[in-house]
A and B are shown apart, each in its own frame.
Chain A
Amino acid sequence: MKAAAEQKKKEDRYEIRLSGSGGQGLILAGVMLAEAIGVGDGKNVVQTQSYGPEARGGASRSDVVIAEGEIYYPKTMKLDILLALTQEACDKYYPDLKENGILVVDSTMVTQVPTKKYYGLPFVRLAREEIGHVMVANVIALGAIAELTGIVTHDSLKEVVLGRAPRGTEEKNQKALELGFSAARKLKKEVKSRG
């Protein structure tokens, strides 16, 4: 049983959703993020996902709940971070985002953003043009989220991404992750200078 003091402590849940369409590697991205935060950084995590019928295709999402203490309810309640790689996902999940939550979108795929407060980066285009492989868009996005929100340490994320990368693709994934970090760093500066 939890001590009364801890009961009263403010809710320390932090909730992240990675969303897009099936096949963009978002479930894996969620697993990597959870592993980096949970095993790497030593916080408590629960990762869940939502499948379409019989597990294939369609809209896809992967949720990660983070807390210092125990996580009872495993699903998300109100999102602190939403990543949307498609317009459909953005429209569908934006209402789940907290009022001051962070929205990160793929700026080429999501053209109608429901708010002015958001971060946009062309993850899929970057993956195709800079790395030569659309499949690493998820890793670039993870890098960007780490840089933008500080929710996970760069070291843990790097270790997990490289650990999970199929043999022979380590370099590509490493590059993708670094690209995510640097693109987000640049974006942050721009946003700041814009005010």
Chain B
Amino acid sequence: MSNLRKGKVRLLQGNEACFQGAIYAGIDFYAGYPITPSTEIAEGLARELPRIGKKFIQMEDEIGSIAAVIGASNAGAKAMTATSGPGYSLMVENIGYAYMTETPCVIVNVQRAGPSTGLPTKISQSDMMQARWGTHGDYTAIAVAPSSVRECFEETVRAFNLSERFRTPVTVLTDEVLGHMRELMTMPKPGELEVMERPKPDIPADWYRHFEMTPSMVSPMAALGEGYRYNVTGMTHDREGFPTAVPSEINEKLNKLKKKIERFADEIYKVRTEMMDDAKIAVISFGTVARATHQAIKMARERRVRVGAIQPLTIWPFPDPIISDALKNVKKIIVAELNMGQMVNEVKRIAPRNAEVFFLGRYDGEVMTPQQILDKIREVK
């Protein structure tokens, strides 16, 4: 039988891999509103979810979509939405509600160029800061950034895991090129990738507190209708979930939002390094650009330039310790990204004092080419 008919390896689009990853992770509910270049995710789930008895709904807008996702998650569902810049902008108020109410959910942002309607069919990485600081107030965000079709699958699974494990929204930052490009992929078998479930209470309803303090700082979470009858509010609340104005309770709540993630950040960090062992120059990039970087350092190495690559797959919390460790012996650092300078400031914050940081940006809707990066390497060498 030919490979084609065996169907083990498939040619898959990034957006398809993303929704297949969601299914692998056990998605129960999807709500969304169409927007280029993310629409294939909604289309795929509209087709697949009813077939497996799971729920799909196209809402009237992105505000409603994320609201429905949060409602569904509180009802016990693993829930996701997907969008692009304009939609994410509409969602941020309710994403803040998810942070505050510690509601697990996954938001995929297939980035396109902005601001505003911008370039619907063109690539960008200008929403990196939005993924961290999009909504108002203080909180700590998790965001992951795949760079291949396979990673679109894997990182979506990981996003679900992290969101359930930490009871928090997680953003998957992909981009137009990644979302639409097709690559070969072997579908992971059940059990091959880890799939996590949210912590559930194992105490009587009378003792249950929806925002209990625990050693892990993550509270077990009962679903609506399971007999626990708790209150959820976006107002700053006490452990039971009732609005509070007591300074000590306010402090406890906000510290919890921050520390439940920061203390366990080692479980969240994921960074890929290439040829960093002897590197004097490092190129740091994520997503689609990381692939141009890999190509560029290959070309530079052929010219005997000691250059390596660092690629954060966890973009938030920014993997400070891992990246600064990788940068220990580096003298020059190039940060390459498709925006006017976002990640570069994170890198500057942690770069060794004697290393110089250079920014290489592109924001004309095109992918950064290996040649551009190579030129920059030569320039700073």
Contacts and interface: CB of A to CB of B under 8 A. Distances in A.
A155 B367 CA distance: 34
B370 A73 contact: yes
A41 B10 CA distance: 12
Nearest to B6: A39
Given A48-B181, A72-B298, A156-B2, A77 B11 contact: no
Interface string A36-66: 1011101011111101111100000000000
B11 A155 contact: no
Contacts of A51: 121, 180
A56 to B, nearest CB: 10
Contacts of B294: 72-73
Contact of B11 (A8, A45, A48, A72): A45
Contacts, number: 90
Contact of B183 (A46, A52, A53, A160): A46
A7 B4 contact: no
A47 B183 CA distance: 7
A25 B154 CA distance: 31
B36 A55 contact: yes
Contacts of B3: 39-40, 42
A14 B11 CA distance: 18
A48 B298 contact: no
B293 to A, nearest CB: 8
Given A51-B121, A73-B295, A38 B302 contact: no
Nearest to A13: B295
A44 B183 CA distance: 8
A77 B181 contact: no
Interface residues of A, number: 34
B295 A72 contact: yes
Interface of A: 1-2, 7-8, 31, 34-36, 38-40, 42, 44-49, 51-55, 71-75, 77, 155-156, 159-160, 163
Max count, chain A CB within 10 A of own CB: residue among B2, B11, B291, B298: B11
A35 B295 contact: no
A2 B297 CA distance: 12
Interface string B355-376: 0000000000001011100000
A167 to B, nearest CB: 18
A35 B4 contact: yes
A87 to B, nearest CB: 24
Contacts of A35: 4, 11
B4 A77 contact: no
B258 interface: no
A51 B120 CA distance: 10
Nearest to B288: A74
A39 B292 contact: no
A40 B295 contact: no
B380 interface: no
Contact of B302 (A8, A39, A45, A159): A8
Nearest to B120: A54
B68 to A, nearest CB: 26
